[in-house]
Each structure stands twice: as structure tokens, then as C-alpha cells.
Amino acid sequence: MLVLYYIYFIFIACPLLLVTTVLICLTIIIGTAIGNGSFWGYYPAMIWGKIFCLLSLVRVSVKGRENIDKLTSYVFVANHQGAYDIFSVYGYLGHNFKWMMKKSLRKILLVGYTCYKCGHIFVDRSSPAAIRSTIETAKERLRNGMSLVVFPEGSRTFTGKMGTFKKGAYQLALEFNLPLVPVTIDGSFKVMPRTSKLPRPGHIVLTIHKPIPAPSDEAARSEVMDLTRTAIESGLNK
């Protein structure tokens, strides 16, 4: 059965996804040029994420959406199991947000420029001044219910187990006094782990946990990091 799926994915799904990606990118670029970047920078990409999952025969379920308010800005922190984390969060989180992503992704043809037009935040760690500029950009974007999604591990896991969390997301929550929302992504590793070039059908479950207040100071940051990690782990099907 998996062989039939790969034939379907390569010869039917891939061409459709390529055309869809180009059309969505052009829609975002034109839409943000006309105006209302908050709308055009999110909703077309949300549709793209859902189409990507549907055409890949990946089902996504969401738990805990009642824990968040669409008018509140959050820092969402999620584990990073595989490539389909992007599509499942984009398509099914249900809250307008910006990604915090590596500056190198800006160079990807069409997609990188589209991410720029969406208002996603490219992290520049080349100097203290560049880091401060990244923080100021984030501060400007996180207004009126706009949120941020960060993978605190920094990259996809090789083993399916969570890696060490980096402090960047928690520092932003501290600076901007934003609540953190742990999000568990479960099942993405089975769909397409980092070592695979093709996905397989599967079921991804997003669990949105209750918000955790921003750390009050530097000393409280480690405690909040531990709380979010524990919450994310609690949603994994071990």
C-alpha cells in the first residue's frame, strides 16, 4: 500500500502542491501589496497548510483550542518533530501569528520573499545590534492579537525525542510580557521524520495547552521553560 501512496504522492499530489504553493505565494504577495497584511499574511497560508495535509493524506486533529483567545497575543512554543509541523500549525492552530525563522530561509526562491511579505520575523544573530533589531521587529509585529510561533528546539529532532530548549522565545515573552502557550505536536515524526524525503499517510494531533504567564524576571525564565516543556511532554502519546 505504501508503494501506491508514493506513486500517488509523486505523480499527483506533488504537481498539485507545487501549483498550489505558487498560487498561494502570488496571492500573498499581491494581497499584502494592496493592503491589510494581517489578513493576507495569514489566511492564504492557513489554506495552503490545510491543502498540503489533505493532499498528503495526513489527518490533523486539534485539542484545547478553547484555551486561547483570538484577540490575545501569545508566544506559542511547540516541539519540532518533522516537516509537517509547519503545515499542521499553519492550517489548524486557528490563531493569527508570525513565525520566527532563520535568516537563511529568506533566500529560498519565491517562498522566502513571500515569508518576508507575510511579516514573519527573520532572526539575525550576526551581531548584538542585529539581535536587537530582530527584537524590535518582533515587538512591532506582536500587536492587536498577533502572536508568535517558535520551535524552542531550533531544529527538527532526529530521534523523535525532544531536544534542548533554547531561551529565545522565553526572552521575548519576558521582554514583551506575553503569555506562553505550549503546543504539543504528536504524530508528525511518523509522517515525515527529518531523515525522510517523502511523507507517508498519518494522523497528527495538535494539543494547545493552557497559557502560562510570562516570566517576571530572568530568574523565573528557567522555571517557565521547564513548565512549558512538561506541558508539551504531557501531550505526547508515549
Strands 202-208 and 180-186: antiparallel
- Structural domain that includes position 44: 2-234
- Spatial neighbors of 222 by CB under 8 A, at least 6 apart, are none
* Bridge partners of residue 77, in order along the sequence: 150, 182
What is the domain count for the chain? 1
CATH number at residue 191: 3.40.1130.10
Supply the DSSP symbol for 179.
Answer: -
- Do residues 46 and 119 touch, judged by C-beta distance below 8 A? no
Nine-digit cell string for 31: 494581497
Digitized pLDDT (tens) for each residue of the chain, 238 residues in all: 899 999 999 999 999 999 999 999 999 999 999 988 889 999 999 999 999 999 999 999 999 999 999 889 999 999 999 999 999 999 999 999 999 887 878 888 899 999 999 989 888 777 777 777 887 888 778 877 799 999 999 889 999 899 999 888 898 898 889 999 999 999 999 999 999 999 999 999 999 999 999 988 888 888 999 999 999 999 998 6
Dihedral angle computed from the Cα positions of residues 52, 54, 58 and 61, in that order, rounded to the nearest 10 degrees: 100
